[in-house]
Amino acid sequence: MLGGQRAQMPLIRLASLAVGDTAVADLQVGVFTPLPRTPFIDGLLGGDFLKRFTLKLDYARSRLQFTPQAPPDPASGLPSVSPATVPSTIPIETSGNHILVRAVLNHREAVTLLLDTGATHTMLTPEAARRVGLTPMSHALTGALQVVGGRQVRFPLVPLAALAMGEAVVKNLQVGILSTFPGTRTVDGLLGGDFLEHFTLTLDYSARQLQLTPTPSRSGQG
């Protein structure tokens, strides 16, 4: 879990899980209290459900769209074409149920980040922050994060001039510095909502691509 904790949980078989009109049958789910200080949340929707679909996440309209993934029809002879309105397509890598993306800090430092649509702030490890020349001051602003399991973690915030993924760029972010991130391989931090909210995201697991479409009302801020 974020923050370095490990937890064991029992697994049970769920006959079906539906989100709107989208359902998955016969799903094995964990039983755990992920966020005890947030009683209105009944659990976490994970990659075992999400990876079956292409996801379109529209921050501006607060909408999530699921499109079932269908294998291409070899008899059609038609190539797969990305929508022309999408200005930036980013390759993704999966590590277990984690989604990893490549980004560039301040137009010079390449990093690997965990994609986290639920995090308020983008966060970097101390090592990644040091490589790009970011050092928290003694009077720096701080943020707080409630990690799975209920523990709250505080972290310093530092100004980042620019974060880029392909042609998608957001400037002047206050990013957090946190030491521990989950995963089966080393990552440099996580990509959070302060970057993602400037775009509509289309996540295609089968093509291993993340498409970023600037939100019209925010396009002048990137």
Number of domains within the chain: 1
Report pLDDT digits (tens) over 19-51.
888 889 999 998 887 666 666 778 888 888 888
pTM of structure:
0.76
Residue 173: which CATH number? 2.40.70.10
Residue 112 covered by a domain: yes
Residue 76 covered by a domain: no
The domain containing residue 149 runs over which residues?
11-70+86-221
Residue 135 covered by a domain: yes
Residue 163 covered by a domain: yes
- With beta carbons less than 8 A apart as the criterion, state whether 87 and 81 touch: no
Residue 75 covered by a domain: no
Closest to 131 in 3D by CA, of 145, 144, 112, 115: 112
Residue 4 covered by a domain: no
Length of the chain: 222
Is the per-residue pLDDT at 220 higher than 70?
Answer: no
Report pLDDT digits (tens) over 94-114.
887 788 999 999 999 999 999
Residue 183 covered by a domain: yes
User: In this predicted structure, what is the pLDDT of residue 73?
Assistant: 46
- With beta carbons less than 8 A apart as the criterion, state whether 172 and 194 touch: no
Closest to 190 in 3D by CA, of 220, 209, 163: 163
